[in-house]
Amino acid sequence: MTVTAPQGFRAAGITAGLKASGNPDLALVVNDGPEFSAAAVFTSNRVVGAPVMWSRQAVKDGAARAVVLNSGGANVCTGPGGFQDAHATAEKVADELGIGAIDVLVASTGLIGVRLAADKLLAGVPVAVGALAADDAAGTAAATAIMTTDTVAKTAVRTVETPSGTFTVGGMAKGAGMLAPALATMLCVVTTDAVVPAADADAALRAATRVTFDRVDSDGAMSTSDTVVLMASGASGVTPDLAALTEAVTEICADLARQLIADAEGASHDIAITVTNATTEDAALAVARAVSRSNLVKAAVFGNDPNWGRILSQVGTVPEDVAPFDPAELDVSVNGVMVCQAGGAHEDPEKVDMAASRDVTFTIDLHAGDAEITLWTNDLTHDYVHENSAYSS
Amino acid sequence: MTVTAPQGFRAAGITAGLKASGNPDLALVVNDGPEFSAAAVFTSNRVVGAPVMWSRQAVKDGAARAVVLNSGGANVCTGPGGFQDAHATAEKVADELGIGAIDVLVASTGLIGVRLAADKLLAGVPVAVGALAADDAAGTAAATAIMTTDTVAKTAVRTVETPSGTFTVGGMAKGAGMLAPALATMLCVVTTDAVVPAADADAALRAATRVTFDRVDSDGAMSTSDTVVLMASGASGVTPDLAALTEAVTEICADLARQLIADAEGASHDIAITVTNATTEDAALAVARAVSRSNLVKAAVFGNDPNWGRILSQVGTVPEDVAPFDPAELDVSVNGVMVCQAGGAHEDPEKVDMAASRDVTFTIDLHAGDAEITLWTNDLTHDYVHENSAYSS
């Protein structure tokens, strides 16, 4: 079950011919209402794709009736012509659906710097509209059509009971393991049949992404195209309070974020970095992010080596005004074994078994406050180097 | 020729037995005067080794008579016992040389979190003192004894003519290709026979490291032990002005920095990232550093792929208040071929030949000002992953 699980949504995934592989490459998600609240969160990169430029403007009124997504080309660094391609795609979808182009969001993923085959894309739109359906198969087809180096389609659904009735949230995402990959862009569409004012949609989506996608950092590379969209149809007639909505949207985003990590390019280990007893959440996040971006730490995990010295040296790179702590008080546990206590060696690293499972946990205790966060990353492997040295050549 | 090239210096490199390989692991550089000016620059990591703690204090008076350096153990995260080991090493060198321990700097490199074999280290000190000599062979022996994953010893010498006479600057360094590696720590000793007040030594060394070692960023990992020491014997009787001294020290540091990059762990390409027409040097450096830390960019270079989209997406991650520029005006050249002009595709990437040479150049024109810098990094290779996943296991 996926974006079509909530009432009021149809989806499609078809092959427009943008990918050399001949795999599906064009997805469409349509909100049939009765309401059309929408919100979106985009990459913070200053270099952004034409679809991001278009969609940022299109979602400003808090409404959207459709999202059209393609793989096989990111439409980034493609100049005024590229923006015209994104605009023409929205116009074509709008024409076919009998709605306004300003209610159509566009998202693209693939290689940067290459114009899309706009004729194929535009010709695919009527095919996608013709394939629209509200069933599981259609939702899965859409999730499949946005895949690039992903090995599996990523979907999630939650049904939430409230005193006034039941509402459903569904979602799909693509991205080979990173929040912010430069090429394997993260795209995500979340749908709900709850009745949601646009302001609540925006608040719930921002709260959800802050603690989910923003806490996945596979390789530190920020995309030019990352897009997360929430659309609410109101078809269930149920109006949840903001807290219930936020919780449900956060669960969907967390589920999808974990699926991204689990399918990360070339990864052999998922690493959950938990930082405890920080002065603030931001301090904890800064420490976790410093560790997650160390190639030396990540290569050590690939080698099943609980190398706490590399972890500590990354923790030490965080400026004191960002994360106050005393280096002489740091504890580090790997898979639950406290290999470093008070800044020095403690339990024998030989006690840590990293080969047994894909999952690895680091727990870093700063002994400075009571804030805690968890950030997800992956190890650095030969396959990562191989995939990313061969991608466009 | 190396640290013994300037008059007034002796050096030694011997095997104390700290390394399992049985390779040389203990180096000593002694300034015989008549002057003893010294300055040092250390890692900015908050987690630092015991030798850095000791040496920071010992150099505060602007004088040093000896530097003792060991490979085979970093003496980091080793608690009060580790600090005692560093102190005892300085005391032992001082005793053997008949000087004060406060005039002995200590530097160590190797694995973090493991106590040194202090008995072997201390027993090695008299052997090193006995081997001290002012000839080339002794200088080379010292440069060899500080190697870890380095494949070659790194040395440099410059002789400078001034109106009042000739002075010489010599240097040695170790570090497998990174400014700030977590394990393959950078250590560097620069010697000169010029007459140099301590304040000038400090000013010259800081100016030199800022534009040399600080502009090498092989893998973004900041060491807990990085140490660069300058000692001046005054034995030439020549007193250069600060500008001439700074220029000579900068040349030595630049030469050694390039040798570090050329010997980077697992690298197959050296990448010179030049950022031009930035508003300030700091803005240019921020852009270059963002590019140098992208695994996607570095893996593309390993694949001989001039992937300018990955470069542009990294440039776009730099906040506008750090580096003002218009993304629509960015030009990118790889090996002199302008593959991206005004933020879009330009020359055919097929025209770029990256396979022909180890050296690769990126030129990123921000069209925002007139500041320019060059930062050095390496590609990301299978060998890097292999070396760093197998290091301690």
Looking at residue A218, its pLDDT comes to 67
Burial bucket for residue A319 (CB in 10 Å: 0-12, 13-18, 19+): exposed
CA distance B338 to chain A (A): 13
Q: What is the extent of the structural domain holding B201? A: 9-262
B132, with CB counted inside 10 A (0-12, 13-18, 19+), is buried
State residue B271's pLDDT score. 94
Chain B CA closest to residue A325 = B46
Does the beta carbon of A1 lie under 8 angstroms from any beta carbon of chain B? Answer: no
- Whether residues A251 and A373 fall in one domain: no
Are A133 and A279 part of one and the same domain? Answer: no
d(CA B358, CA A103): 51
Name the residue facing A47 among B76, B327, B393 (closest C-beta): B327
A313 and A242, same structural domain? no
The yes-or-no verdict on residue B368 having pLDDT over 70 is yes
Size of interface A-B (CB pairs under 8 A): 216
Interface test with A, best of B115, B313, B341 (most A CBs within 10 A): B313
A178 in the same domain as A38 = yes
Q: Does residue A277 fall inside a structural domain?
A: yes
Is the same domain home to A209 and A327? no
Task: Give the residue from A323, A314, A318 showing the smallest Cα distance to A371.
Answer: A323
Cα(A365)–Cα(A299) distance, rounded to whole angstroms?
Answer: 22
Average confidence (pLDDT) over B291-303? 89
The C-alpha angle with vertex B292 and arms to B291 and B296, in degrees rounded to 5, equals 70
Is the CB of A305 less than 8 angstroms away from the CB of B389? yes
**Burial label, A95 (beta-carbon count in 10 A; 0-12, 13-18, 19+):** middle
Mean pLDDT of all residues belonging to chain A:
91
Residue A190 vs residues A3, A99, A240: alpha-carbon distances, Å: 6, 21, 16
Q: Is residue B13 in some structural domain?
A: yes
Euclidean distance between CA atoms B233 and B254, whole angstroms: 22
- Residues B234-242, mean pLDDT to the nearest whole number: 95
Please answer yes or no on whether B299 and A389 come within 8 Å at the CB atom.
yes
Q: Are A275 and A284 in contact (CB under 8 A)?
A: yes
**A393 labeled part of a ligand binding site:** yes
B79 closest CB neighbour out of A46, A295, A344: A344
Name the DSSP letter for residue A180: S
Measured distance CA(B214)–CA(A367) in Å, rounded: 32
Amino acid at A169: V
Q: Is residue B96 domain-shared with residue B234, that is, in the same domain? A: yes
Within a domain: B174: yes
Asked whether the beta carbons of residue A309 and residue B183 sit closer than 8 angstroms, the reply is yes
DSSP state of A164: T
CA distance linking residue A301 with residue B259, whole number of Å: 29
| Residue A265 marked in a binding site | yes
**Is some CB atom of chain B closer than 8 A to the CB atom of A286?**
no
Residue A51 per-residue DSSP state: H
Active site residues of A: 185
Shared domain for A196 and A286, answered yes or no, is no
Q: Are A139 and A30 in contact (CB under 8 A)?
A: no
What strands lie across the sheet with A344-345, from one edge to the other? A344-345, A337-341, A331-334, A359-365, A270-278, A371-378
* Percent residues over pLDDT 90 in chain B: 72
Residues 6+ apart with CB under 8 A from B210: none
Instruction: Give the end of a domain, one of A210, A240, A259.
Output: A259
Residues of B in contact with A384 (CB under 8 A): 295, 299, 385
- The H-assigned helical ranges of chain A are 50-58, 79-97, 118-131, 136-145, 198-210, 242-262, 281-292, 295-302, 308-315, 382-390
Residue at A332 is within a domain: yes
Nearest to A385 among B79, B182, B302 (CB): B302
Of B262, B285, B302, the residue that ends a domain is B262
Residue with the two structure tokens 């208040």 = B321
Strands B37-42 and B66-70: unpaired
B18-32, B79-93, B233-247, B287-301: segment of lowest average pLDDT:
B287-301
Whether A176 maps to a domain, the answer reads yes
318-347 in chain B: CB under 8 A from chain A: 318, 320, 327, 330, 340, 342-345
What's at B324, amino acid-wise? Answer: P
Complex ipTM more than 0.90, yes or no: no
Same domain? B47 vs B175: yes
Indicate whether B340 pLDDT > 90: yes
Confidence of residue B384 (pLDDT cuts 50, 70, 90): confident
- pLDDT given at position A208: 93
Taking every pair of C-alpha atoms in chain A, what is the biggest distance, in angstroms?
A: 67
Strand A359-365 to A270-278 pairing: parallel
pLDDT at B391 over 60: no
Distance CA A325, CA A160 (A): 41
pLDDT tens, position by position, A178-211: 444 333 468 899 999 999 999 999 999 999 998 8
Residue with tokens 């969609």: A55
Output the pLDDT for position A181.
37
Distance CA A330, CA A339 (A): 11
Q: Does A382 touch chain B (CB under 8 A)?
A: yes
A307·B392 Cβ contact <8 A = yes
| Residue B336 C-alpha, separation from nearest chain A C-alpha, in angstroms | 19
All residues of chain B having their beta carbon less than 8 Å from the beta carbon of residue A45 are: 313, 316-317
Q: Catalytic residues of B, which ones?
A: 185
* Res B150: pLDDT: 86
Q: Do β-strands A337-341 and A344-345 pair in parallel, antiparallel, or remain unpaired?
A: antiparallel
Does the pLDDT of residue B118 top 90, yes or no?
Answer: yes
Q: How far is B377 from chain A (nearest CA, A)?
A: 14
Same domain? A365 vs A337: yes
- Ligand-binding site membership of A174 (annotated): yes
Last residue of a domain, one of A259, A279, A307: A259
Q: Does the residue A3 lie in any domain?
A: no
pLDDT tens digits, A13-35: 999 999 999 999 999 999 999 99
- Tell me if A113 and B79 make a contact (CB, 8 A cut-off): no
Listing DSSP states for B47-83 in one string gives S--HHHHHHHHHTTTSB-SEEEEE-SB---S-HHHHH
The answer to the question of residue B197 being in a domain is yes
Do A333 and A374 belong to one domain?
A: yes
Query: What pLDDT, on a 0 to 100 scale, did the predictor assign at position B183?
Result: 38
Gyration radius (Cα) of chain B, Å? 22
Query: Is B3 a member of any domain?
Result: no
Nearest CA in chain B to A319: B46
Residues of A in contact with B302 (CB under 8 A): 385, 389
**DSSP string covering B165-181:** EEEEEEEEEE-SS-SS-
Judged by average pLDDT, the poorest of A374-383, B189-198, B200-209 is A374-383
Do A322 and A177 share a domain, yes or no?
A: no
Is A336 buried (19+), middle (13-18) or exposed (0-12) by CB count in 10 A?
exposed
Record the tokens describing residue B317, joined without a space: 């991650």
Q: Which residues of B are annotated as a binding site for substrate?
A: 148, 174, 185, 265, 388, 393
Cβ(A40)–Cβ(A47) under 8 Å?
Answer: no
Cβ A301 vs Cβ B38: under 8 Å: no
* 3-class state of residue B266 by DSSP: coil
For A303, which of B74, B303, B389 is closest by C-beta distance? B389
Alpha carbon A30 to its chain centroid, in Å, reads 20
Sign of CA dihedral B57, B63, B65, B71: positive
CATH code of residue A161: 3.60.70.12
Pick B309's closest partner by Cβ from A79, A113, A384.
A113
Put simply, the answer to whether A384 touches B46 (Cβ < 8 Å) is no
Residues B85 and B31 in one domain: yes
Give the pLDDT score at A288. Answer: 95
Q: What is the dihedral of CA B190, B195, B200, B206, to 10 degrees?
A: -10
Residues of chain A with pLDDT under 50: 177-184, 392-393
Most confident stretch, A187-191, B43-47, B215-219: A187-191
Q: How many CA atoms lie within 13 A of A95 on its CB side?
A: 10
At A69-112, the pLDDT tens digits run 999 999 999 999 999 999 999 999 999 999 999 999 999 998 88
At B381, which CATH number? Answer: 3.10.20.340
What is the model's pLDDT at position B233?
95
Distances (CA, A) of A156 to A150, A232, A248, A250: 16, 16, 11, 11
Q: What is the DSSP letter of A327?
A: G
Enumerate the β-bridge partners of residue B148.
none
CA distance A245 to A156: 15
Average pLDDT over residues B118-123: 97
Domain count, chain A: 2
User: How far is the first Cα of chain B from the last one, in angstroms, to the nearest whole number?
Assistant: 36
